[in-house]
Amino acid sequence: MAEQERTQYKLHVGKIEEGFVIDHIQPGNGMKIYRDLGLDKLDCAVAIITNAISMKMGRKDMIKVETPLRKYDLDIIAFLDHSATVDIIQNGEIIERPRMELPKEIKNVISCKNPRCITSTERELDQIFVLTDPKSGTYRCRYCETKWSDN
Amino acid sequence: MARCIMSPLDITVEELESLMDTAMDIMGNPDKYAHACEGKILATLFYEPSTRTRLSFEAAMLKLGGKTLGFHSADSSSATKGETVADTIRVMSQFADICAMRHPKEGAALVAAEKSGIPVINAGDGGHQHPTQTLTDLMTIKALKGNFENLTVGMCGDLKFGRTVHSLIKALVRYANVKFIFISPKELMIPSYIRDDLLIQNNIAFREVTKLEDVLPSLDILYMTRVQRERFFNEEDYVRLKDFYILDKKKMDLASQHMLVLHPLPRVNEISSEIDGDPRAVYFEQVRYGMYIRMALILKLLNVNV
């Protein structure tokens, strides 16, 4: 294979002109965030970088998205990954790094695992979790009040 | 959205006082309230059988001059055809003025409340909430003790799964200087979200013991509970724990003459029938107080002033 052709296949994710970068994602968590945020449904360019070298974290995942950031995306990122940060990019430059806060309510991102919850039988119901203790980041199912746990 | 009652804490201390005053007034002057709800209909939507709760609601509405309709098991409702709770309540809202709903799934009453055009009272949603049982317990204590302050309340039996216990604790901590003594086998102690998050965090005095006899003399209230078979995955554990406590005449001799014995009923073996005649055993009176407080709640939610 010619040298020129091989260069085309080098891993190189360039700068984006307008969009956002989710940085400092816990290594291995990038694909999950990609799916949970519904980025797989976008028709713009999305790059997922896993196990990138990070001065701060050792290794990290990153997601670069070439589309303007929608407002509601922000808070849910804080829930999905506590270490993640978001850079908003315009004209190739970072114009904002918004402060991440846990959302008061999470809708249809996670599901209640309590088999006795009404959402387990009435599937058309929205899966809603409410932040009941911001200090500990505790979320409870709106219906049965079962504490959310990732385990 | 109409005012709905999902949990005992949906009712403030002030509202509770007013409800209990109304209930007392109904007890003293039943004729005054006999036609208060004439022309009104209470729907009792019971997706699982609960004879006592349903009949208490129905008796409450009938004594107020209203009428009742509904079903008493999922088999006799459209749920068998796959109708959702949300649709059932939308339909019922066209017929009735107020609804009491019992459902085996936790949160079902809230689903109904969100879609309902009429007030919904949660009459028990699985192991989650049963606010009118707590109102019943509070009403009994208030009627027979006069107030809640400075009481030492013993809770005995299944303190881990017993929702009535958890709700009553949450309601009682709103009053000054209420002390708790929790009597249970190690396997059925109060859960950590009650012990740590509620009692310790709010500096509420409590003790956990396993022997009922040791603490009986110090109690003002003894709240007995049944160990429920359906809460156990293992039949062996249930058999071992179900008769851990049996309140009998010998034990009652250790208690103060002013102690009251409450029980949400039905009882199985945990209270011997030999103490039923003891004036301190008030669990059947408690049922009557339950009806009166439900009458007061129906009046409040229907905005009926007498």
The answer to whether residues B253 and B171 belong to one domain is: yes
Q: Which residues of B touch A141 (CB under 8 A)?
A: 107
The answer to whether residues B61 and B136 belong to one domain is: no
- Chain B residue with the nearest C-alpha to that of A133: B197
Domain for residue B306, yes or no? no
Which of A49, A47, A50, A42 has the alpha carbon at shortest distance from A68? Answer: A42
**End-to-end Cα, chain B, rounded Å:** 24
The answer to whether residues B102 and B183 belong to one domain is: no
Residue contact A118–B105, C-beta within 8 A:
yes
Segment B93-114, tens digit of pLDDT:
999 999 999 999 999 999 999 9
The answer to whether residues B263 and B292 belong to one domain is: no
The answer to whether residues B90 and B141 belong to one domain is: no
Would an 8 Å CB–CB cutoff place B101 in contact with chain A? no
- To test the contact with chain A by mutation, choose from B85, B105, B129 the residue with the greatest count of A C-beta atoms within 10 A, namely B105
Domain for residue B3, yes or no? no
Domain for residue B282, yes or no? no
Segment B255-299, tens digit of pLDDT:
999 999 999 999 989 999 999 999 999 999 999 999 999 999 999
The answer to whether residues B105 and B181 belong to one domain is: no
The pLDDT score that the predictor gives to residue B39 is 98
Residues in chain A: 151
The answer to whether residues B121 and B199 belong to one domain is: no
Task: List where CATH 3.30.70.140 sits in chain A.
Answer: 16-96
Domain for residue B97, yes or no? yes
For residue B143, the 8-state DSSP code is H
Residue type, A8: Q
Q: Is the pLDDT of residue B219 over 90?
A: yes
The answer to whether residues B144 and B268 belong to one domain is: yes
Domain for residue B79, yes or no? yes
Structural domain count of chain B: 2
The answer to whether residues B156 and B220 belong to one domain is: yes
Residue contact A143–B111, C-beta within 8 A:
yes
Domain for residue B155, yes or no? yes
For residue A130, the 8-state DSSP code is E
The pLDDT score that the predictor gives to residue A71 is 53
Query: Shortest CB distance from B111 goes to which of A116, A122, A145?
Result: A122
ipTM of the complex: 0.87
The answer to whether residues B186 and B238 belong to one domain is: yes
Query: Shortest CB distance from B105 goes to which of A121, A142, A146?
Result: A121
Query: Shortest CB distance from B85 goes to which of A114, A118, A144?
Result: A118
Q: For residue B149, what are the domain limits?
A: 132-275
Which of B45, B33, B171, B11 has the alpha carbon at shortest distance from B3? Answer: B11
Q: Which residues of A touch B125 (CB under 8 A)?
A: 118
Domain for residue B281, yes or no? no
Would an 8 Å CB–CB cutoff place A136 in contact with chain B? no
Residue contact A145–B126, C-beta within 8 A:
no
For chain A, the average pLDDT equals: 87
Torsion of CA B211, B215, B217, B222, to 10 degrees: -90
The pLDDT score that the predictor gives to residue B113 is 97
Residue B42 parent element (H or E): strand B41-46
Query: Which stretch of A93-97, B11-15, B144-148 has the lowest confidence by average pLDDT?
Result: A93-97
The answer to whether residues B104 and B155 belong to one domain is: no
Binned at pLDDT 50, 70 and 90, residue B23 comes out as: very high
Segment A91-138, tens digit of pLDDT:
999 998 888 889 999 999 899 999 999 999 999 999 999 999 888 899
* Chain B residues 33-92 with a CB less than 8 Å from chain A: 84-86
Which residues does residue B156 pair with via DSSP β-bridges, in sequence order? B183, B224
CATH number of domain containing B240: 3.40.50.1370
The pLDDT score that the predictor gives to residue B127 is 85
Domain for residue B1, yes or no? no
Q: Which residues of A touch B192 (CB under 8 A)?
A: none
What are the C-alpha distances in Å from B61 to residues B7, B119, B210? 21, 14, 42
Please state which CATH class domain A16-96 belongs to.
alpha beta
The answer to whether residues B66 and B151 belong to one domain is: no
- Exposure of A2 by Cβ count < 10 A (0-12 exposed, 13-18 middle, 19+ buried)? exposed
Which of B152, B178, B131, B167 has the alpha carbon at shortest distance from B19? Answer: B131
